[in-house]
Amino acid sequence: MRILLIEDDQEMRDFVTSELVTAGHEVTGCADGRDGLMLAATKDFDLLVIDRILPRLDGVGVVRGLRAMAIGTPIILLTALGRVDERVQGLRAGADDYLVKPFAMTELVARIDAVKRRNSFRQDQNILQVGDLSLNRLTQVANRAGHKILLKPREFRLLEQLMLNAGMVLTRTMLLESVWDYHFDPQTTLVESHICRIRAKIDRGFVCAMIHTVRGAGYRISVDPVA
Amino acid sequence: MTAPQQQASLFRMASFRLAVLGMLFSLIAAVVVFALIYEATGIAAREELAPIVAGDRADLLSDTQADGWPLAREIALAEAIGGHTYYELTNAAGQKLAGTTLAPHDWNHWSDVTRLEDPALPPGVEQIDGISVKLADGDRLFVGEDASVFAILNRRIALIFAVVFGLLIGLGVLASLLIAAYSLKRVRAISEASTDIVAGDLSRRIEAYGIDDELDVLTTGLNGMLETIERLVKKAQQVTSDIAHDLRSPLMRLRDRLVRIERLALAQGQAGIADELREALRQTEIVTSIFSSLLRIAEIEAGALSGNFVPLDLSALVCGVAEEFLPVVEDQGQSLELAVADGIWILGDVPLLIQMLVNLVENAIRYCPDGAVLTLSLTRMNDGFAWIEVADTGPGIPEADRERVFERFVRLDRSQNTPGHGLGLPLVRVIAVFHGGSVTLLDNAPGLRVRVKLPTVRRNEKLAVDSH
């Protein structure tokens, strides 16, 4: 994927660049808002990673500028500011995701994959299918190999998120945000307990498990146990 | 936070009530003045007519003596001649002997007989004023004069009073309604502005009319206060943003370095160092988490969060959070009981309230052993507050420590074995206070009972806010 990274902190930029290159992306770096806006507007990128605070034109300004020019390239905003209203402001300006520093690189990589997928994969299908597991989004009923599986509302939302991002890692934070709309870190095993409930419903009694725990990263649903 | 203003009605306005009171006073004054004038004309009539009546009576009595005629005949003669004098002669038993028939009247007292009391008065006569005296033979003789002039005068005065005061009161009602409508309009503007400000729009100001009346003075004062509040909040937001930026950026760089060193160590086969570095990474995550919580508390305390207050169904919110944590509670071998009253609405910030509820429930889960019973209840109280209570059968908190645990970083478990950093309850408190409520810790005997009081909105206030 061709990624434009607009970040004024050079150390940070170098590190993120090397990490994303390792993850298989092609990265262009840029240190200020106005140049970044020009680059994003004139060259072809698959995704933009933009810091919130930049010289000359701040990150939200860049997002607004691009959206005003009807450029729909997916954008992830990085920020050292963590206020809830700032997050809302960033998303309202047109960003696709919002990540608060300090974050783990696995988090950024997972979010890049998810944002990319959200923009390329049809999100409005009524039936989601992964291997022999299917999920009807209208009736909220799952089916594995002909066995009907009833889900509670939250279990449905969790399974839906996993299946929409089938084959990709969803971090705990991503699940908390997308499934629960919690923008803080619960001190209990909230995500783990719910994952456990779903596993009991869809994996118990089957030879191969579909929900995989990716150590130090998150959860992934796929037929194949290895990513 | 203030509850939304009740819809003010025109007739409940202080200015209208004061005007009505003023009009009532002037009406009483008018009645008193009219009564005094009426009394004065009565006295004037008596002063004018009494000598005439006395003269007529003396003439009549001396005429009977001189002519030797019976009194009745003299009376008939006098009345036949005509004039403005009227006579009535009755015997001791009250039987009429001669003269004009009049309505009963006082004996020995000056009295007036009006057409109102006696419709049988001679035509053109409105009122007869006179006095009765007892004659030597026991008969009673009333002699009265036509006092119609005074009666008509009184009637005209009454008419003038009615017209003048009617007009005054009518105009007064109209004027006070206009004044009340004007005040109401301006009070509504202030009330609407304050609702907007509570809902987060700190840039909102109240419009002044530039006419220097008392409401303009109030408006200017309020706008000045709002200016200061907005400036302080902006400053607080700036400060917390600066702190966040200045701490999060180096934390991020520290994290990156640790990750790179960990990789180097692994590449050079030094697994021990890599393990140490992973632990160091975990510690930076704890620092970040503490820092985020602290910052959140500071932001709420400083009012730096532009509170996005909306009317919300607290009952549904509480049930929702309870449902989320049911699997966690089960995994811990605990149980959760719910007693949530339906349809309790409050004005609040949804993400903050969710975080508060999560903190309350997680505290109970984390500090209670297997088998503990947690109870989450929501009750509507009569004082306009709702109580959210999270009770457990865990170890509880000694009474002496119950206030202390709201201080930052206070953890009662000195071994620090349990996870967490002692910021859960302080956060619960600032969120409750931010919503105009409070938190208290009580003894659940055994266990702990945390009670959060939040002000509720009545249904009509909710609708008022909705329509706004």
Structural domains in chain A, sorted by start:
2-120 (3.40.50.2300), 127-221 (1.10.10.10)
Of A11, A82, A102, the CB nearest to B284: A102
**Residues B272 and B397 occupy one common structural domain:** no
CA A19, A189, A209: angle at the middle one, nearest 5? Answer: 70
B355 and A CB contact within 8 Å:
yes
Residues B289, A180: C-beta atoms closer than 8 Å: no
A56–B contact, CB cutoff 8 A: no
Say how many CB pairs under 8 Å bridge A and B.
Answer: 94
- Residue A15: list chain B partners with CB under 8 A: 256, 260
Which among B249, B289, B295 has the least Cβ separation from residue A185? Answer: B289
Please tell me which of the candidates B260, B324, B354 has its beta carbon nearest to residue A154: B324
B245 and B119 both lie in a single domain: no
Q: Does residue B240 share a domain with residue B119? A: no
Judged by a CB distance cut-off of 8 A, whether residue A69 touches chain B is no
Helix (H, G, I), strand (E, B) or coil at A60: helix
CA nearest to B447, candidates B404, B396, B390: B396
Confidence at residue A77, expressed as pLDDT on a 0 to 100 scale: 93
Instruction: Using CB atoms, pick whichever of A101, A154, A186 lies closest to residue B362.
Output: A186
| Token digits of residue B235 | 């400053």
Is B51 inside a domain boundary? Answer: yes
Helix-, strand-, coil-residue percentages of chain A, each rounded to 5: 40, 20, 35
Residues B336 and B261 grouped into a single domain: no
Residue B163 placed within a domain? no
Nearest to A12 among B237, B252, B354 (CB): B252
Q: Which residues of B touch A185 (CB under 8 A)?
A: 289, 292
Contacts of B97 (CB under 8 A, 6+ apart): B71, B72, B89, B90, B91, B139
**Least CB–CB distance from B249: residue in A9, A15, A182:** A9
Task: Using a CB–CB cutoff of 8 Å, tell me whether B267 touches chain A.
Answer: no
What is the distance between the alpha carbons of residues B404 and B399, in angstroms, rounded to a whole number? 10
Task: Please name which of B430, B306, B302, B446 lies closest in space to residue B359, comparing C-alpha atoms.
Answer: B430
Is B378 in the same domain as B396? Answer: yes
Clarify whether residues B328 and B459 are in a common domain: yes
Q: Quick check: B283 and B414 in contact, CB under 8 A?
A: no
Question: Which chain B residues are closer than 8 Å to A183 by Cβ?
Answer: 351
In a domain, B207, yes or no: no
Confidence at residue B14, expressed as pLDDT on a 0 to 100 scale: 78
Same domain membership, residue B297 and residue B420: no
Q: Which residues of A touch B241 (CB under 8 A)?
A: 81, 83, 86
Q: Do residue B425 and residue B337 come from a single domain?
A: yes
- Token pair, residue B158, equals 């009454």
**How far B462 CA lies from chain A's nearest CA (Å)?**
24
Amino acid at B86: Y
CB < 8 Å to B299, chain A: 83
**B181: distance to nearest CA of chain A, Å?**
39
Domain span at residue B284 reads: 214-301
- Radius of gyration of chain A from Cα atoms? 19
Q: Are residues B127 and B261 in the same domain?
A: no
* pLDDT value of residue B115: 76
Assess if residue B185 is contained within a domain.
no
pLDDT tens string A112-150: 988 888 877 777 788 888 888 999 999 999 988 888 999
pLDDT at B421: 65
- Please state the domain count of chain B: 3
DSSP state of B310: E
Which region, left, alpha or beta, applies to residue A149 given φ > 0 means left and ψ of -120 to 50 means alpha? beta
Domain with B435 in it: what CATH number? Answer: 3.30.565.10
**Cβ distance of A101 and B251 shorter than 8 Å:** yes
C-beta atoms of B241 and A188 within 8 A: no
Domain of B79, CATH number, reads: 3.30.450
Residues B333, B288 share a domain: no
* Residues in B touching A10 (Cβ below 8 Å): none
Q: Does A150 touch chain B (CB under 8 A)?
A: no
Q: Are B125 and B266 within one domain?
A: no
Give the residue carrying structure tokens 């002044």.
B208
Indicate the residue among B246, B277, B301 that finishes a domain: B301
Contact state of B284 with A9 under an 8 Å Cβ cutoff = no
Please report whether residue B399 resides in a domain: yes
Q: What is the DSSP string of B346-409?
A: EEE-HHHHHHHHHHHHHHHHHHS-TT-EEEEEEEE-TTSEEEEEEE-SS----GGGTTGGGSTT
The answer to whether B351 contacts A81, with C-beta atoms less than 8 Å apart, is no
Question: Are residues A7 and A29 in contact, defined by beta-carbon separation less than 8 angstroms?
Answer: yes
Mean pLDDT in consecutive groups of 10 residues from the start of chain B, 468 residues: 50 78 85 88 86 86 83 81 81 78 70 77 82 82 85 86 86 85 85 78 82 85 88 81 82 88 89 89 86 82 70 92 92 92 90 92 89 92 91 85 76 55 83 90 87 82 50
pLDDT < 50 regions, chain A: none
Considering only CB atoms, A186 lies closest to which of B260, B306, B358, namely B358
Contacts of B420 in chain A (CB under 8 A): 187
The answer to whether residue B4 is domain-embedded is no
**Final residue in a domain of this structure, among B105, B133, B153:** B153
What are the CA-CA distances from residue B134 to residues A178, B9, B141 (Å)? 112, 67, 6
Question: Which of the listed residues B108, B133, B153 is the one where a domain comes to its end?
Answer: B153
Residues B296, B391, single domain; the answer is no
Nearest chain A residue (CA) to B305: A85
The answer to whether residue B257 sits within a structural domain is: yes
Looking at the complex, does the CB of residue B234 fall below 8 Å from at least one CB of chain A?
A: no
The answer to whether residue B196 is domain-embedded is no
Contact: B251, A186; criterion CB under 8 Å: no
